[in-house]
Amino acid sequence: AQSVTQLDSQVPVFEEAPVELRCNYSSSVSVYLFWYVQYPNQGLQLLLKYTTGATLVKGINGFEAEFNKSQTSFHLRKPSVHISDTAEYFCAVSSGGYQKVTFGIGTKLQVIP
Amino acid sequence: ETGVTQTPRHLVMGMTNKKSLKCEQHLGHNAMYWYKQSAKKPLELMFVYSLEERVENNSVPSRFSPECPNSSHLFLHLHTLQPEDSALYLCASSQDRASGSSYEQYFGPGTRLTVT
């Protein structure tokens, strides 16, 4: 079985400050990992993904994430946030030769002017 | 149209009504999904279709009935719903495993359903 834990339900951060959104996963086999963003009244949009190879993955809108196998983590980071980054962010995992993707409960990022 | 589209965007229905949600993908994918998104809950996978065959049904009540006539279209037929079924219903598509995909899913904007 696979699972995802997003440790923070809400993260307030001032504009132009750095941010890290935490994600830990559980799986007995190799994984694919994803971060999605959801803006109000919209569907989920893929920010970035890890499949194989380099553990530091860069995505859209200046976000990046680092896959850490020993800590089973895939934290999302951005060095300087903008007001437009205010949204909900979902971590997700797919593993075990099965196309089902398991999503975390989401982290609401609130960027304060 | 590009990506994944869903209609209607908003739907209000009574408990005795019958309605359908429609999803269309323009990405050439061969797997499609229905999710339910409720406040303060993880995204709930309802149905998965791969190559137009249902491969997963996560114990969804029979008042929700999916239909996948071809790889580009997915429907969710609704009847005799309950107020707790009010939620955002999201459709997604992806390539299936046989294509060597990493299974990232592409989502539509959702249908906001309110059951009165």
Q: What is the pLDDT of residue A98?
A: 53
Tokens of A91: 């971590």
Q: What is the pLDDT of residue A79?
A: 97
Tokens of A34: 């994803």
The answer, for A40 touching chain B at a CB cutoff of 8 Å, is no
Please tell me which of the candidates A46, A97, A105 has its beta carbon nearest to residue B104: A46
Q: What is the pLDDT of residue B100?
A: 63
Please tell me which of the candidates A45, A46, A104 has its beta carbon nearest to residue B42: A104
Tokens of A51: 């499949």
Please tell me which of the candidates B41, B45, B101 has its beta carbon nearest to residue A100: B45
Q: How far is CA A81 from CA A12, A14, A18, A37, B103, in A?
A: 11, 8, 6, 14, 28
Say how many CB pairs under 8 Å bridge A and B: 55
3-state helix, strand, coil in chain B (%, to 5): 5, 55, 40
pLDDT at B114 over 90: yes
Stronger pLDDT, B42 or A10, i.e. the higher one: A10
Please give the order of strands across the beta sheet that includes B4-7. Answer: B4-7, B18-25, B73-79, B64-70
> Across the interface, do B102 and A103 touch by the CB < 8 Å criterion?
no
Quote the longest CA-to-CA distance of chain A.
44
Q: Quickly tell me which residue has 């997604």 as its tokens.
A: B92
Q: How far is CA A107 from CA A35, A51, B88, in A?
A: 11, 22, 17
- If pLDDT is split at 50, 70 and 90, which confidence band does B1 have? low
Residue among A49, A37, A45, A50 at smallest CA distance from A81: A37
Q: Which residues of chain B neighbour A42 with C-beta distances below 8 Å?
A: 109-110
Q: How far is CA A47 from CA A6, A66, B67, in A?
A: 16, 13, 30
